[in-house]
Amino acid sequence: MNLIFVNGTMGAGKTTVCRILKNKLPPSVFADGDDLWDMCPFIVNGRSKEMVLSNIAAVLSGFLQSGLFENILFCWVMHEESIVEDILSRLTRKDFRFFLFTLECGRDTLRERLAKDVEKGARSGGIFARSEERAKHFAAMRSVKIDTTRLSPEEAAEKIAAYVRGENGPPR
């Protein structure tokens, strides 16, 4: 069984890539951390962060315990390794292969993608600065980096799938 985390800054393509990846690695299930933090009003404090981490661990543990899936996909920004480690430490089952992929893209590509989201009303204008600030954190992480600047979501998903299947070395 594989537990596959896909992180990266907002706009890097995590959700889109994971939705495609789910179909490339069946039997799979996909959880997006943003869905477990989707509240109104949006509150960021110690209690809400703890609640979200607890929810993530419960959902992932449920998938792991079910025995129904060979691949469990999870995406979220997770811009610090401590977030990844915290989630992993909360899981009730530990007998899985773990993969951590970071989706990256160039600054112009990132701004273009985020601008489309802002235009559609899916994000607010302040997303540019927040995303660029978070992007700086991923370089030092111990993850397999995939530059999506010139890749379609389908191509990025295939690179991850091939790596998980053991067909290739780390994606470039």
Quick one: average pLDDT of 112-116?
Answer: 83
Task: Give the mean model confidence (pLDDT) for residues 134-160.
Answer: 93
pLDDT of res. 123: 66
- Residue 171 inside a domain? The answer is no
* Percent of all residues in the chain with a pLDDT value above 90, rounded to a whole number: 69
Q: What is the mean pLDDT of residues 72-82?
A: 95
170 domain-assigned: no
Average pLDDT, the chain: 92
- What's residue 107's pLDDT? 87
| Each residue's pLDDT tens digit, 32-52 | 999 998 889 989 999 999 999
The reported pLDDT for the residue numbered 37 is: 85
CATH number of the domain at 14, please: 3.40.50.300
Domain with 7 in it: 2-164
Residue 27 lies in a domain: yes
61 belongs to a structural domain: yes
Structure-model confidence comparison of residues 155 and 117, the more confident one: 155
Confidence of residue 172 (pLDDT cuts 50, 70, 90): low
Of 139 and 118, the one with more pLDDT: 139
Total tally of structural domains belonging to the chain? 1
Task: For residue 172, tell me if it sits in a domain.
Answer: no
User: Is 94 inside a domain boundary?
Assistant: yes
* 106 occurs within a structural domain: yes
Residue 169 lies in a domain: no
Q: Tell me which H or E stretch contains 68.
A: none
Assess whether pLDDT exceeds 90 at residue 113: no
